[in-house]
Amino acid sequence: MEPSQSNVIQASFSSADPRFSALVANAFAKAYIDTMLELRVEPTRQAAAWFDEQLKTLRANLEDAQAKLTEYHQRQGIVSADERSDVENTRLGLLSDQVARAQDQTFQWNSREQQARSFLKQGRSPDRLPDVLDNPFIQKLKTDLLHGEARLQELATQYGANHPQYQRQVSENQSLREKLDSEMRKVVAGVESSARQSRQHEVELAKALAAQRARLLELKESRNELTVLRRNVESAERAYDTAMQRSVVSQVDSRASQTNVTVLNQAFVPGVPSHPRSSLTSSCRCWSERCSASAS
């Protein structure tokens, strides 16, 4: 074979038999093409086999990451992490509002309780307390007692203190006073009870608020873990898809049946011998290797 300055390589063979010379020259060209094809295909064939092995490992990694993510969803009861977060944040907001209202109510009840205790401590009648003044039943009792006192004065003028009607009115007035005192004590006791209940309610709401905040922190940690698991799945998917694409390319290239070398001129049986020898020439063209083959 004789290289040239172009992309054509000349391959020649001489023998006494012109037909044999043509066959050998063409065989050289075919062998060259087959060798170039083998040099091209063999690395891709090896790469395809390597990718097949890598795909098995990457597929196992992907399946393992997906299984861990699915198991985490089942263990945590997660349908949608975003929906759970929205619900928990809404609950936190509602509890915060309830605690604020409870604190305001507790402050008001504490003030009313302190006022009532101050009245009683000073020995003053609780009839001037706002809660007593706002009680319609107590006000009715007061009105009835005033009417009873007025009636008692009339009876004292008409019949005297020893008259049965006078004594009966005295008894009725006394009963009204006792009932009035009892109702005022009930109002004071109700204020104290409401204040205690308000404080207890505020404490319970504060505990619920603290628990909800802890729940949100726990959910945040869970979402962080969930994010890591999702990223692991996504990373495994990308690695598997990339390897699959390259494997497909390698598989296709490994089955290539053509190369970038082609025969330009087949060797033919010469009609006349060249010189004292009979020679034959064939040529091929190599687009990348810049080669050709010929014989004479």
pLDDT higher than threshold 50 for residue 214: yes
- Tens of pLDDT, residues 97-117: 999 999 999 998 888 888 888
Where in the chain does DSSP place strands (E)? 2-3, 8-15, 261-265, 278-286
If one compares 68 and 175, the residue with the highest pLDDT of the two is 175
How many angstroms separate the CA atoms of 90 and 38, rounded?
68
Confidence of residue 286 (pLDDT cuts 50, 70, 90): very low
Least confident of 18-22, 61-65, 200-204: 18-22
DSSP class per residue in 173-193? HHHHHHHHHHHHHHHHHHHHH
Mean pLDDT rounded to a whole number for the chain:
75
| 267 CB neighbour count, 10 Å cutoff | 28
pLDDT band per the 50, 70, 90 thresholds, residue 197: very high
* Mean pLDDT, residues 26-44: 74
DSSP code per residue over 52-75: HHHHHHHHHHHHHHHHHHHHHHHH
Per-residue pLDDT at 147 exceeds 60: yes
Report the percent of the chain where pLDDT is more than 70. Answer: 74
Give the rounded percent of residues in the chain with a pLDDT score beyond 90.
6
Check pLDDT > 50 for residue 85.
yes
Confidence of residue 254 (pLDDT cuts 50, 70, 90): low
**Cα–Cα distance between 64 and 58 in angstroms, integer?**
10
- The Cα-based distances of 67 to 60, 185, 258, 281 in angstroms read 10, 69, 44, 67
Q: What is the pLDDT of residues 122-137, one digit of tens each?
A: 777 777 778 877 888 8
Choose among 83, 57, 69: nearest CA to 228. 69
120: number of Cβ within 10 Å? 14
pLDDT at 293 over 60: no
